[in-house]
Chain A
Amino acid sequence: MTFKSTLKSTATGAALIFAVSGFHTALAQGGPPFGESGKAKAFPGIPEGTVEAMGGEAGINLWVKQLFHYILLDYRIAPIFIEHGNIERQIALNTQLVQRVLGAGNEYLGASMSAAHGDLGITMEEFNAVVEAAYNACDAVSFHYYQCNQIIAGLAPFTFDIVTQ
């Protein structure tokens, strides 16, 4: 067997295994998407010290404030958040939530994402609009893109609780 044919066979087998992994639960991380401390189980893992690298609670709070700044500028999603009311409280709770999913181990005092969003009929476009606002907020507070992606990775599991339409 030549090297080329060996490579073909090996790579083809790997491709097929990856492609059919949806039928094989052993290749999926089992259980809930968050650990006991609330940290997201994003593969291959959110680095330790991510919250500290972003300025701790103060840095995350600054980012969340910018997030809401961009959310309230977006006609697609601003009405949803305005209707929910008490923006300052939403900022405070989201500061807790983001720290928690990034592994800070703090307490989150708000409602679950499914409870908070279940009746809102959020679409994927609206969810993605918040993600875009998240990236804009990262630029505004000078978080590096790679740091921003840790936030996205931490919050991504909530997609399926938030997007109900």
Chain B
Amino acid sequence: MHKSRISLLALLVALAMVAAACGPSEPEPEESPTEATGAKEAPEFAAGSTMDTIQKRGNVIVGTKFDQPLFGQKNPITNEIEGFDVEMAKIFAQGIFGGTLEEAAEKVEFVETVSRVREANITQGTVDFIVATYTINDARKEVVDFAGPYYIAGQDIMVNKDDDSISGVEDLNGKKVCSVQGSTSIANVVEQAPQADISISFDTYSKCAEALKDGRVEAVTTDNIILAGLIDEDGGETFKLVNNPFTTEPYGVGVKKGDDALRDFLNDKIEESYEEGSWEAAYERTVGAAGIPAPEPPPVDRYSSSGASPAATPTGAASPGATTTSAATTTAPTTTTTN
């Protein structure tokens, strides 16, 4: 009696295993990889590489801005972070974890990184990488490495709607200008308008916008995309853009210095997103929705970590509305800031 019960149990277990093995074992047929948001296969990474660590951990920690309209902004109702930088981070996550873009997005944990803490967060390993309107320049390359650029903005000036006295960066001399501590924006103003009064500065651009509204300063300066977002937030009623950019700001992904494998991986993903159309789709969902047409995606700079990047040739003012001319004539992404 006992023996036959055991053998009956063993038979049932064997049947169950056979049934499972005979079940559908083919993975779902993949959508063609050229579909922008189609499901992708999770790739294998070299053991010990950052991507492998991230994949094994099951989530990727990305630093981004939480108060930058159009690029990285926390939606107060849903508590989700939204923006172009956020969409790029999701594309990178899809490259690590596979699946659809929405599934990969679930595995991203966003951490707020304001301008001046970006380097510290990377070197201390608090985040895996940073996508936060992060301008690439040589000074920062001494502390961190960059993948990209994935977007080129230009520094511009924002004034109150009824102020016509400022039409270019030279007009900032003798005026009170607000920007953010630790940003390239402030360094550029010091260089191009040495008599500008930059004594009032904060840690976020939204505070600068408040100061402009209150009349504490006469202008706010930073990348034109950020300014467009600030203008958009007030419905276009309070501020206006001078629309005379005076620098080129290549936005990159900040990674730990020396992590060439991660940098190559991110550069590959960026180029893939150009070809597959996911870059443009991400842009249209975010910045494009505010009415700024998509420019040509900029070529990534795969500099060697030992030397400097290829000789930088300034391409002059780049406005986001310019289509093929500015980016197409760029031979290498530029780093024009000089500090």
Q: Do A and B come from one complex?
A: no
